[in-house]
A and B are shown apart, each in its own frame.
Chain A
Amino acid sequence: MDGNLITAILFATVVAGTPLIIVALGLLVNERAGVLNLGSEGMMAMGAVVAFAVTHHTGNPWLGALAGMAAGMSASLIFGVLTLTLQANQVASGLALAIFGVGLSAFIGKPYESVALQSVPAVRIPFIADIPIIGEALYNQQAMVYLSWALFWTVLWFLYRSRAGLVLRAVGESPASAHAIGHPVVLIRYLAVLFGGAMAGLGGAFLSVFYTPMWVEGMVAGRGWIALALVVFATWRPLRVMIGAYLFGGVMITQLFIQGSGLQIDFPAQFLSSLPYWATIIVLVVISRNANTIRLNSPASLGKPYRPEA
Chain B
Amino acid sequence: MATRRNFMLTAGALAVAAALPLASFAQDVTKIGFVYVSPIGDAGWTFQHDLARTQLEAEFGDRIQTSFVENVAEGADAERVIREFAASGHKIVFATSFGYMNYVERVARQFPDVAFLHATGYKSGANFANYNARFYEGRYLNGVIAGHMTKSNVMGYVAAFPIPEVLQGINAFTMGARSVNPDVEVRVIWVNSWYDPGREREAAMTLISQGADVITQHTDSTAPVQAAEERGVYAFGYHSDMSKYGPTAHLSATTHLWGDYYVQTVKDVLAGEWKPTNLWGGYQQGMIQLAPLNDAIPAEVKAQVAELESQLTAGTFHPFTGPVVDQSGAERLPAGAVMDDETLGKMDYFVQGVASRLPSR
Contacts and interface: CB of A to CB of B under 8 A. Distances in A.
Interface of A: 4-5, 8, 12, 16, 41-42, 95, 98-99, 102-103, 106, 113-114, 116, 119, 207, 211-214, 216-219, 221, 223, 252-253, 256-257, 259-270, 272-273
Given A12-B209, A42-B1, 13 more contacts: A12-B205, A41-B1, A103-B5, A211-B198, A212-B197, A217-B41, A218-B195, A221-B193, A259-B188, A259-B356, A260-B187, A270-B190, A273-B192
Interface string B201-227: 111011101101000000001110010
Chain B binding surface SS class:
mixed
A41 B207 CA distance: 29
A255 to B, nearest CB: 9
23 contacts: A12-B205, A16-B198, A41-B1, A95-B1, A99-B1, A103-B5, A106-B39, A113-B41, A114-B41, A114-B42, A212-B223, A214-B197, A214-B226, A218-B195, A223-B198, A252-B202, A253-B202, A260-B203, A260-B206, A260-B212, A262-B187, A262-B355, A273-B190
A220 to B, nearest CB: 9
A260 B156 contact: yes
Given A12-B206, A259-B189, A269 B195 contact: no
B2 interface: yes
Given A211-B198, A266-B357, A269-B192, A256 B203 contact: yes
B187 A268 contact: no
A266 B359 CA distance: 7
B360 interface: yes
A157 to B, nearest CB: 31
Chain B, interface size category, equals 35 or more
Interface of A is mostly: helix
Contacts of B221: 214, 216
B191 interface: yes
B199 interface: yes
A5 B226 contact: no
B206 A256 contact: yes
B2 A269 contact: no
Contacts of B199: 221, 252
